[in-house]
Amino acid sequence: MRAIFALLTAVVLSLGLSLSASATPVDTYEFKSMEHQKRALDLAHSLRCPQCQNQNLIDSNSPVAQDLRLEVYEMVDAGKGDQEIIEFMTSRYGDFVLYKPRWEGKTLALWLGPLGLLMFGLVIGFFFIRKQRVSQVEVQEISAEEQKELDKLLKRDS
Amino acid sequence: MGIFLYKGLFLNPEKLDSALEGKPIPAFQLERLEDSGEIITNESLKGQVALLNVWATWCPSCKYEHPYLMRFARQKLVPIYGINYRDERRLAIRELQREGDPYTKNIFDHDGRLGLDLGVYGAPESYLVDHNGIIRFRYAGPIDMRVWNDTLYPMIQELQAEARAEGAS
Amino acid sequence: MIPELGHFSLIIGLAFAFLLATVPLIGVARKDQYLVRYAWPLSYGMFFFIFLSVVVLGYSFAVDDFSVAYVAHHSNSQLPIFFKIAAVWGGHEGSLLFWVFSLSVWAAAVAYFSKGLEEVFTARVLAVLAMITIGFTLFMILTSSPFERLFPIPMEGRDLNPMLQDVGLIFHPPMLYLGYVGFAVSFAFAIAALMGGRLDSAWARWSRPWTLAAWVFLTGGISLGSWWAYYELGWGGWWFWDPVENASFMPWLIGTALLHSVIVTEKRAAFRNWTVLLSIFAFSLSLLGTFIVRSGVLTSVHSFAADPSRGMFILLLLGLAIGGSLTLFAFRASEMKSPARFELMSRETMLLVCNILLTVACGTVLLGTLYPLLIDALNMGKISVGPPYFNAVFVPIVLVLFMFMGVGPNIRWKRAKPGELKTKLLVPAAIATVVGVAAPFLADGKFNVWVMFGIGTATWVTLATLRAGYGILQGKDGSVSLARLGRSEMGMLIAHIGIAVSIVGATMVSNYSIERSVRMGPGIQQELAGYNFNYLETKNVVGPNYTAQQGQIEVTRDGEFVTLLRPDRRQYNVRTMDMTEAGIDWGLFRDLYITMGDPISSTEYAVRLNYKPFVRWIWFGSIFMMVGGFFAASDKRYRRAKATADAKSDDKKADLATA
């Protein structure tokens, strides 16, 4: 299967862009209330279509996305909570469908990484600035020697 | 970082793991494709190792897979249950009459509800179910000789051995 | 015969690159000026032959030579000539050719415009550029030649992907490539400086206009892509945090940091190692971007050809570029200590903080983009990292960045004058706070923390930038004169205000868009955001290579005619592919955006109506940024003739400022 599947994908993909992104889906689902609509759309925007390339349930027009989208709408209208709906999706399609990864062991680095990077950057910056402060070193501008060299270089530019 | 980018080249980002492996078949109650009077439920699948195959007449890869399924069915190694997914009954029956019917029974999943519960994201997909009705393996994509020999059949034998061991004890 | 000419010409170009990468460097080693000077003709020759092969490919497209596989796969005799030419870079092989071509354009430009620079230095820069050219030309010739023939010759081509048949997409890739590849020039300057063992103000000054030019192109490429996605994909979204988008955004973030760091290096001879590192990173991220896009390791809406051997080759180039340059850096960087001193409250610090934040923001995007791959490679399952993650971590970082962005241009180099900052910025800060808090209430009467921060920071950046501009215009004696405003200061002011404009657009459209999906057919009216939409009829339209059903929707407001929108659904004949083309009425403060969905009955269609406030501002902002970058790059200090005189007066100015 892998072979034919790979072949098919190769054929499709070698055409450049994939076909999955072509026509835009529009559904005319009538929500019970505006509130439900907003919640359902937000939710469907944050769930990934399991079949297609990188698209959420709203943007994809693949049949699976269509089904799941409708499922989300109906569950919202039936008064189900976000958590319940997310549970419903992941129990069938796995964590893959969550655009917002769960907070768990394997995503710790993902969620804490930015904070770590920021801390790291600020600490480095802090020490760098401390080292550079004028008040701690009496000297000066560019050293005379370097200034001379710089002038020489700039002169040569012309 | 280079190492895992390199490793990434050989991964297939489109192939998903099934969230249902290790879980029982979702509860369902659906008509049989060939006979709307006969109701098949998840209970009917228990008791033996079985292969569930999600297919449809609109699915081109299913046509590729079909002759292989015919061949495996003739060998009678494992019962194959079809799940006719989001399809027209008339078309599906005609297709089976014309091309041959590898399925022990066909579950008619017209509105795709069972497919949804199984986490199907595109036909064909196949599920190996053990004698307790637990899904043990999911294969997404068409089955051919290589997949059967390398992956499915060894697993089927294993599961059948398990079933025999439990049955004996 | 003609396509072989193109292939042949590419090989000659490669030969030129080989010579360019070696001869001048040998000349430098032997102190043989004669050899060093070969760098110029070799650069022009490399450019000429690569250009020739692009022309040949374009010609093959123009005459429908379907014996060339690449042409057969990406064109069709029915395709308008405009798109035939654009198809040159519409697929993998062609876009690689274009990549290499951009590189040779940059090399030729450096050769031409840098005559005033030190010869040895420029020769080194050109040699480094040639090395990169070698890598990618080899890649193309070995794994993906655009001139491969097809046998038997097909009667008709498979047509260009309909999604690419669009003006936005004709210019998006070339600009993006010019930007990506432009960072190769900054990279080459940094490497040449490391080779020479001299990282000084002069190097920073030489490198700055090139970095600016690359940044302008990249900004343009990214915005065009986002604009294209907005009107062509029919979802009305403008940024999806898709891996391919992130791939272009990361070099942009680092490039922006580099732009600012290079200023400090030029003016204050500080942050030298940091500037070198950023130059290396900006280019490495461009390569990483190329890797992500070309190898298919990550699933993206943009999925291009996926082929491990291609990915492997780019990975190899990436490894060589990063490994080689960092090794060189490790050997050379430590030799140089930074002589400039500055206080905690100084422009240096502000620029440093902005650099750190930009780098952290880039690191965050990198982390989120590659994390699913990491988890998968470790066999820990499949996860997705999408917009909710990026919005949650990226937005707070840049909000902090915007706060510092207002301070930077207003603070002095080296050491702030006590109290000065307060007198300058207290009023802007107060106004920004008030506007920020009031904005969400004015918009829809409800408090919204994101709108508050978004509009607040946009106001803050605008006012603080204007204040800085006033400060530049104002002389010591208090008089105000436009003559004091140099092009690079003006560029800075324009670009910073551009950022503010984009922030407003992004904030408003993310928080106040209205969307409705409705059933529409002749005679049916719908309402959205005070506009009345009246569906008149469906017309059948025949295009050059498609047919379409086009809805005619009249939009009125308070009974007055606003516009007639014509969204359509197209069926492309050759690829049998359905596409939707949105009907958009654009305005300064809002877009009305309509897409046609599937037919519901014989006359009725599902139609999506969108109201998008301030969406254009996102791209207006980037136009500002590009114009600003252009001004800064064209500052007269960088022009050859007057370089010395101006440099001197500049140094004097700097001395005055720091005195």
CB contact under 8 A, B86 and A63: yes
Q: How many residues does chain C have?
A: 659
Residue B96 covered by a domain: yes
Contact C597, A24 (CB under 8 A): yes
B 14-73 residues with CB < 8 A to C: 14, 16-17
Q: Token pair of B1, please?
A: 């970082």
Residue C381's pLDDT band, with cuts at 50, 70 and 90, is confident
Residue C236 pLDDT > 80:
no
- Find, among C653, C123, C641, C35, the residue nearest to A157 by Cα: C641
Q: Token pair of C498, please?
A: 């551009």
ipTM above 0.85? no
Contact A47, A97 (CB under 8 A): yes
pLDDT digits (tens, 9 = 90+) for C22-34: 999 999 999 888 9
Q: How far is A91 from chain B (nearest CA, A)?
A: 6
At C451, give phi and psi (nearest 5°). Answer: -65, -40
B2 contacts on C by Cβ (under 8 Å): 315, 318-319
By DSSP bridging, strand B50-55 and strand C605-613 are unpaired
Share of chain B above pLDDT 70, in %: 90
pLDDT of residue A16: 32
pLDDT digits (tens, 9 = 90+) for C114-168: 877 888 999 999 999 999 999 999 999 988 888 988 888 888 888 777 777 777 7
Q: State the burial class of residue B44 (Cβ atoms within 10 Å of its Cβ: 0-12, 13-18, 19+).
A: middle
- Please report the DSSP string for C206-259 in residue order: HHHHHHHHHHHHHHHHHHHHHHHHHHHSSS--S----HHHHHHHHHHHHHHHHH
Q: Match 């899904």 to its residue by tokens.
A: B135
Residues 6+ apart with CB under 8 A from C338: A132, C269, C270, C271, C272, C273
State which H helix or E strand residue C596 sits in. Answer: strand C590-599
What's the average model confidence in pLDDT over C174-191?
92
Q: How far is A148 from chain C (nearest CA, A)?
A: 12
- Find, among C222, C314, C258, C353, the residue nearest to C623 by Cα: C222
pLDDT of residue C505: 95
What's the average model confidence in pLDDT over B149-159?
88
Residue B145 covered by a domain: yes
What's the average model confidence in pLDDT over C504-512?
93
For residue B108, what are the domain limits? 18-168
CB contact under 8 A, C376 and B16: no
Residue C21's pLDDT band, with cuts at 50, 70 and 90, is very high
Q: How far is C119 from chain A (nearest CA, A)?
A: 10
**CB-CB: which of C295, C299, C373 is closest to B4?**
C373
Share of chain A above pLDDT 70, in %: 67
Residue A7 pLDDT > 60:
no
pLDDT of residue A155: 65
Angle of CA points C589, C595, C601, to nearest 5°: 145
Q: What is the 3-state secondary structure (H, E, C) of B59-109?
A: CHHHHHHHHHHHHHHHHCCCCEEEEEECCCHHHHHHHHHHHCCCCCEEEEE
Residue A67 pLDDT > 90:
no
Residue B10 covered by a domain: no
**Higher local confidence (pLDDT), A118 or C529:** A118
CB contact under 8 A, B117 and A92: yes
C 534-573 residues with CB < 8 A to B: none
Distance in Å from the first CA to the final CA of chain B: 51
**CB-CB: which of C308, C315, C381 is closest to B17?**
C381
Chain B interface includes C63 (CB < 8 A): no
Q: State the burial class of residue C196 (Cβ atoms within 10 Å of its Cβ: 0-12, 13-18, 19+).
A: middle
Residue B11 covered by a domain: no
What's the average model confidence in pLDDT over C343-360?
90
Residue C250's pLDDT band, with cuts at 50, 70 and 90, is very high
**CB-CB: which of C298, C319, C381 is closest to B13?**
C298
pLDDT of residue A147: 66
Q: Could you tell me which residues are beta bridge partners of residue B32?
A: B107
Residue C501's pLDDT band, with cuts at 50, 70 and 90, is very high
| Residue type for position A96 | F
pLDDT of residue C621: 95
Centre a 10 Å sphere on the Cβ of residue B10 and count the other Cβ atoms it contains: 11
Give the span between the Cα atoms of A112 and A95, in whole angstroms.
19
**CB-CB: which of C312, C372, C378 is closest to B9?**
C312
Give the span between the Cα atoms of C149 and C144, in whole angstroms.
12
Angle of CA points B86, B89, B93, to nearest 5°: 120
- Please report the DSSP string for C503-544 in residue order: HHHHHHHHHH-EEEEEEE-TT-EEEETTEEEEEEEEEEEE-S
How many C-alpha atoms does C153 have within 13 Å on its Cβ side?
8
Lowest mean per-residue pLDDT among A49-58, A111-120, C401-410: A49-58
pLDDT of residue B75: 87
Contact C280, C325 (CB under 8 A): yes
Chain B interface includes C305 (CB < 8 A): no
What's the average model confidence in pLDDT over C12-23?
95
pLDDT of residue A24: 64
pLDDT of residue C389: 94
Residue B2 covered by a domain: no
User: Which residue, among A20, A29, A54, would best test binding to C if mutated, counting the most C CBs under 10 Å from its CB?
Assistant: A54
What's the average model confidence in pLDDT over C629-653?
59
Chain B interface includes A90 (CB < 8 A): yes
**CB-CB: which of A26, A56, A154 is closest to C608?**
A26
Residue C38's pLDDT band, with cuts at 50, 70 and 90, is very high
Residues 6+ apart with CB under 8 A from C474: C480, C484
pLDDT of residue C309: 74
Residue C638's pLDDT band, with cuts at 50, 70 and 90, is low
What residue spans of C417-486 are helical by DSSP H? 420-444, 449-473
Q: What is the mean pLDDT of chain C?
A: 87
Residue C9 pLDDT > 80:
yes
What's the average model confidence in pLDDT over C178-192?
93
Total tally of structural domains belonging to chain B: 1
Give the span between the Cα atoms of C580 and C582, in whole angstroms.
6
Give the span between the Cα atoms of C311 and C292, in whole angstroms.
8
pLDDT digits (tens, 9 = 90+) for B62-114: 888 899 999 888 888 889 999 998 888 888 899 889 988 899 888 998 888 88
Residue C187 pLDDT > 80:
yes
Domain ranges of chain C: 1-160, 168-354, 409-512+619-630+646-658, 514-616
What domains are defined for chain A? 2-97 (1.10.8.640), 106-157 (no CATH)
- Please report the DSSP string for A14-63 in residue order: HTSS-GGGSSPP------S-HHHHHHHHHHHHTBB-SSSSS-BTTT--SH
What number does CATH give the domain C168-354? 1.20.120
pLDDT digits (tens, 9 = 90+) for C585-617: 988 999 999 988 888 888 888 888 999 999 999
At C54, give phi and psi (nearest 5°). Answer: -65, -45
Q: Which fold has domain C514-616?
A: Tick-borne Encephalitis virus Glycoprotein; domain 1 (2.60.98)
A153 contacts on C by Cβ (under 8 Å): 118, 200, 202
Q: Match 């010869």 to its residue by tokens.
A: C119
Q: Token pair of A48, please?
A: 């990934």
**Higher local confidence (pLDDT), A41 or C657:** A41
**CB-CB: which of A22, A28, A137 is closest to C341?**
A137
C373 contacts on B by Cβ (under 8 Å): 4-5, 8, 11, 13
By DSSP bridging, strand C531-542 and strand C525-528 are antiparallel
CATH number at residue B105: 3.40.30.10
Lowest mean per-residue pLDDT among A59-68, B79-88, C398-407, C496-505: A59-68
User: Which residue, among C250, C291, C297, C369, would best test binding to B if mutated, counting the most B CBs under 10 Å from its CB?
Assistant: C297
Chain C interface includes B12 (CB < 8 A): no
Contact C83, C53 (CB under 8 A): no
Give the span between the Cα atoms of C441 and B38, in whole angstroms.
62
Lowest mean per-residue pLDDT among A132-146, C6-20, C377-391, C394-408: A132-146
Q: Is residue A76 helix, strand or coil?
A: helix
Residue B5 covered by a domain: no
CB contact under 8 A, C342 and A133: yes
Give the span between the Cα atoms of C400 and C418, in whole angstroms.
23
**Higher local confidence (pLDDT), C302 or C53:** C53
pLDDT of residue C339: 65
Residue B39 covered by a domain: yes
CB contact under 8 A, A54 and C269: no
Give the span between the Cα atoms of C497 and C488, in whole angstroms.
14
Contact C203, A158 (CB under 8 A): no
Q: Which residue of A has its CA nearest to B112?
A: A67
Distance in Å from the first CA to the final CA of chain C: 69
Centre a 10 Å sphere on the Cβ of residue B16 and count the other Cβ atoms it contains: 19
pLDDT digits (tens, 9 = 90+) for A22-52: 456 677 777 888 888 888 888 988 898 887 7
What's the average model confidence in pLDDT over C350-375?
93
Centre a 10 Å sphere on the Cβ of residue C645 and count the other Cβ atoms it contains: 13
Residue C387 pLDDT > 60:
yes
Q: Which residue of A has its CA nearest to C157?
A: A15
At B106, give phi and psi (nearest 5°). Answer: -120, 125
pLDDT of residue C495: 95
